[in-house]
Amino acid sequence: MAIQTATSDNLAVAQEVIISTLLFTMQELTPCQNLVQPFTLPKGAKQITVPKIGTVTVANLTDGVDMVDSEDLAMTSVDLTTGEVGAKVILTDKLIRQESEDMFKIAGRLLGEAHAKKVDQDIIALFAGLNSGTVLGANDRFLYMRNAGGCVAFAHAKLYPSPVYVVHHPNALYDLMSDSAAIGPTAAGVYRGDGLEALAKDFWKITIAGVKFFEDGNIAKVTGTDAGYGAIFSKQAMCHVKSLAPTQETERDASLRATELVLVSDYGVFELDNGYGAAMYYEIGAALTTNT
Nearest to 121 by CA among 243, 246, 33: 33
Q: What is the sign, positive or negative, of the torsion defined by CA atoms of 233, 234, 236, 241? A: positive
Please tell me what DSSP assigns to residue 30. Answer: -
What pLDDT score was predicted for residue 245? Answer: 79
C-alpha to C-alpha distance for 185 and 159, rounded to whole angstroms: 30
What pLDDT score was predicted for residue 115? Answer: 84
What pLDDT score was predicted for residue 144? Answer: 92
C-alpha to C-alpha distance for 106 and 209, rounded to whole angstroms: 41
Nearest to 202 by CA among 215, 189, 183, 187: 215
Beta strands, E only, 19-60: 37-40, 48-52
Buried b (16+ CB within 10 A) or exposed e, 140-176: eebbbbebbeebbebbeeeebeebbbbbbbbbbbbbb
What pLDDT score was predicted for residue 27? Answer: 60
What pLDDT score was predicted for residue 151? Answer: 96
241: phi then psi, degrees, rounded to nearest 5: -110, 125
C-alpha to C-alpha distance for 98 and 10, rounded to whole angstroms: 9
Contact 165, 233 (CB under 8 A): yes
Counting as low any pLDDT under 70, the low residues of the chain are 1-15, 22-29, 52-57, 68, 70-75, 77, 99-103, 181-203, 291-292
Q: Which residues pair with 247 in a beta bridge?
A: 264
Torsion of CA 192, 234, 113, 119, to 10 degrees: 160
* Residue ranges per structural domain of the chain: 9-53+65-123+248-267, 125-237+274-283
Buried b (16+ CB within 10 A) or exposed e, 199-226: bbeebbbbbbeebbbbbbebbeeeeeee
Q: How many CA atoms lie within 13 A of 24 on its CB side?
A: 11
C-alpha to C-alpha distance for 88 and 248, rounded to whole angstroms: 9
Q: How many CA atoms lie within 13 A of 69 on its CB side?
A: 8
Nearest to 165 by CA among 129, 205, 116, 125: 205
